[in-house]
Structure 1
């Protein structure tokens, strides 16, 4: 699996795992209906506590990115992915606002900031050939 966690990062491990799984879905590395490793197996493979993986899976299930089946285990949502909600837009605004502010303080132009964001979006979704909608 493509997941690499940074044990020295200030970002909690469960959040890193969530982010990487969502990136995997966005890039097409994880497709709708794909099975994910069990909580125990993924925790063992990554060398982290199984409660960390369980928390990540639970939050992704609550958000609509994953489904849990008794027989199939954890799978990538086979139906429609969650849409853009007011909560998501608020989260996006908060995160981009702080990054935009730091970019401005460091002397990055608005054009450079927007171009970086656009390139990152394109790179993230390029493998699946979608527009992220």
Structure 2
């Protein structure tokens, strides 16, 4: 998997790293049970501080995308079920997703993007995940 990290960008590197790994899992480039590089390996490959990678891995672990084990290292988690009605975690996720989509919609509108074009971008992004 190729990680696209913008070292000069405004988004913190650990967030970019987290996002790239989530996209890799979503696209099927990283399978459940697959080992991720060690913190030191990935930091060396990217030319960043180990604390940056560690922070990204901790965030991914908190969100349930990876599991960590002292012997195995960081491993991609099984894809969790969406949850059931009334599941607090699923409801929080849906609220967060709604908020993020609302913000993206507002930005698209303010930049003159047509509704159809925005929806097409959403459809293309979702299709890229193999859904």
TM-score normalised by length of structure 2: 0.87
Q: CA deviation at 1:47?
A: 0.4
Provide, for residues 75-129 of structure 1, a one-character-per-residue CA deviation record: whole Å limited to 9, x for no partner: 101x343636222222222222122112112222212211111111112x13xxx
Return structure 1 stretches of 4+ with deviation > 3 angstroms.
Answer: none
Equivalent in the alignment of 1:45: 45
Equivalent in the alignment of 1:76: 76
Q: Does 1:95 align with 2:100?
A: yes
TM-score normalised by length of structure 1: 0.86
C-alpha distance in 2 between matches for 1:13 and 1:97: 24
Structure 1 residues 56 and 96: CA distance shift in structure 2, 3 A: same
What is the RMSD computed on CA atoms of the aligned residues?
A: 1.5
Q: 2:111 aligns with which of 100, 106, 109?
A: 106
Gaps of 5+ in 2: 84-89
Provide, for residues 52-88 of structure 1, a one-character-per-residue CA deviation record: whole Å limited to 9, x for no partner: 10011111111111111222111101x3436362222
